[in-house]
Amino acid sequence: MMKALRTVLLGAGTSLAWLASLSAVHAAAEKDENLPPYKLIRSLQHVQDSVVHGDLSSADMQQFMLGAIEKRLMTADRDVFADPRNVDAALIYAMSGGNPKTLAYLVSRDIDGNFDNRITDALGHYLNGKGGLIVETMSKTIDEYKNAPVGPYLYLVYGNAVAQQDPGKAVKAYDWARLVAPGTNIEEAALRRSLLLTTRAGNVDQALRYSLAYTRRFMTSPYAGQFADIFVELAVANYGDAKRQKIEEILSFMDKPRQREIFLRIARNAAIAGLKPLTKLASERAASLSAAADREPNALATFYSGLVDVPSTGILEAVKDIEAIPDAELSPRDRSLREAAQAVAREVLRAPVPEVQASANSSAQANADILASQAPSPEALSGSGSSDSPFAAPATPSAPEAATIEPAKPASTDLDPALATFLTSGKSKLGEIDALLREDM
């Protein structure tokens, strides 16, 4: 009871502190509408850094600060930007989630040459989704801003823009951004993106270093889920004797619930990939990190462990175990996995069909029946589709095969047209008579 009361009081205290902080910012904004933009940017940077260090209550403050800075920039006199700190503030605002149109407006009014058109043009393209257009310009100008306050932001932008063309160059840009902006949201984003690029490039040692740095600094970030996705991919591909110790070291910096979540994700991915030893190991580790009352994590550990036993000698027990798990304890994706496992089990357990020696005539008739029963897809009817696709148009049989499997034409096609008309009319009359008889009855 006392523990619950302390939790409620701590939550109330956090809420009151956040409200007081927000009220103070509101009061400051109302008190001094002429506050220099660079001072407002400092407040925004502090708020954004607080978010990636786990203070999720600052997210609303961030939106308020962006709105206040936009208002200040739009109403600022031109001479305000004679101070380079305010020029940097406008650029940082645009790269921190601000309105790109605000920067475009300031540049259009800049008749004093305070803004570097190379940078503002590049940012205009980048913020409008055309990052590929800025690579050449930024590669020639970015070193000029290496030690400027706006430098870490520009290096992060440049890294994002060049990542597809040259991942190695992007990682170097991210490294510089981290070096000159440690502990900030810049470092958090640079670490996540460096981990992704090095993992996909197969640079395992480098990716593990980035993982360790991220785990030690930013596991309370709201973006840590993205890190976990990439780290699980890295761990599943490299959880062998050579890298296991390093992966365990990285996991040791997480608390038990986060470790358990990572091991469950590893178990799931390993089960899908058919990596039985890793699935078993990760499932056991996840179970060991769960208390007896943690029903859902324990159920998931059992489920993933059972998945890899489906195509093995222990299939009956495995299917029995995974079918016993209630639907409520599985996510929609895991319920789909269970259905797939059950389908595999049915195929494994299905009795083989005995071979029957059939005559040539019956085989030909069976082929004819199969062809007649197939309903081509729209792709097949239009003649499109790959020849390897199950929806492709059936291959045209050769002349002897066609002669063998072509069903006999109905005899009615050889009838005299006059006789055919007479028979059709007769059937119509019989139908009308039957209808009258039913009415009389």
Domain assignments of the chain as residue spans, ordered by start: 14-115
Instruction: State the Cα–Cα distance between residues 50 and 25, nearest whole angstrom.
Output: 16
Give me the pLDDT at residue 374, please. Answer: 42
Residue 28, pLDDT above cutoff 90: no
Highest mean pLDDT among 9-18, 27-36, 385-394: 27-36
Report in angstroms the alpha-carbon separations of 329 from 280, 299, 309, 332, 433: 20, 7, 20, 10, 65
Residue 160, pLDDT above cutoff 50: yes
Give me the pLDDT at residue 271, please. Answer: 81
Residue 307, pLDDT above cutoff 70: no
Give me the pLDDT at residue 240, please. Answer: 81
Q: For residue 4, name the pLDDT band (cuts at 50, 70, 90).
A: very low
Instruction: State the Cα–Cα distance between residues 194 and 210, nearest whole angstrom.
Output: 7
Contacts for 76 with CB less than 8 Å, ≥ 6 apart: 37, 86
What tens digit of pLDDT does each residue of 55-92 get?
988 888 999 999 999 999 999 999 999 999 999 999 99
Alpha helices in 32-150 (DSSP H): 37-52, 58-75, 84-95, 100-108, 117-127, 135-141
Q: What letter represents residue 20's amino acid?
A: A
Give me the pLDDT at residue 192, please. Answer: 96
Tell me the average pLDDT across 150-165.
96
Higher pLDDT, 324 or 58: 58
Tell me the average pLDDT across 208-227.
95
Place of tokens 């004819």: 368
Give me the pLDDT at residue 274, please. Answer: 78
Q: For residue 116, name the pLDDT band (cuts at 50, 70, 90).
A: very high
Q: What letter represents residue 376's amino acid?
A: P
Give me the pLDDT at residue 419, please. Answer: 46
Compute φ and ψ for 357, nearest 5 degrees.
-80, 115
Residue 152, pLDDT above cutoff 60: yes
Instruction: State the Cα–Cα distance between residues 131 and 125, nearest whole angstrom.
Output: 6
Tell me the average pLDDT across 270-290.
85
What tens digit of pLDDT does each residue of 416-426 get?
454 455 445 55
Indicate if the alpha-carbon torsion angle 200, 241, 276, 298 is positive or negative. negative
Q: For residue 119, name the pLDDT band (cuts at 50, 70, 90).
A: very high
- Least-confidence region, from 161-170, 252-261, 274-283: 274-283
* Helix orientation angle between 117-127 and 100-108, rounded to the nearest 10 degrees: 150
What tens digit of pLDDT does each residue of 386-438 get?
333 222 233 333 444 444 434 444 444 454 454 455 445 555 544 554 554 45
Among 58, 69, 99, residue whose Cα is nearest residue 185: 58
Cβ pair 98, 66 in contact under 8 A: yes
On average, the pLDDT of the chain sits at 76
Give me the pLDDT at residue 107, please. Answer: 96
Highest mean pLDDT among 146-160, 230-244, 273-287: 146-160
Report in angstroms the alpha-carbon separations of 278 from 177, 205, 268, 285, 372: 36, 20, 10, 10, 48
Give me the pLDDT at residue 312, please. Answer: 54
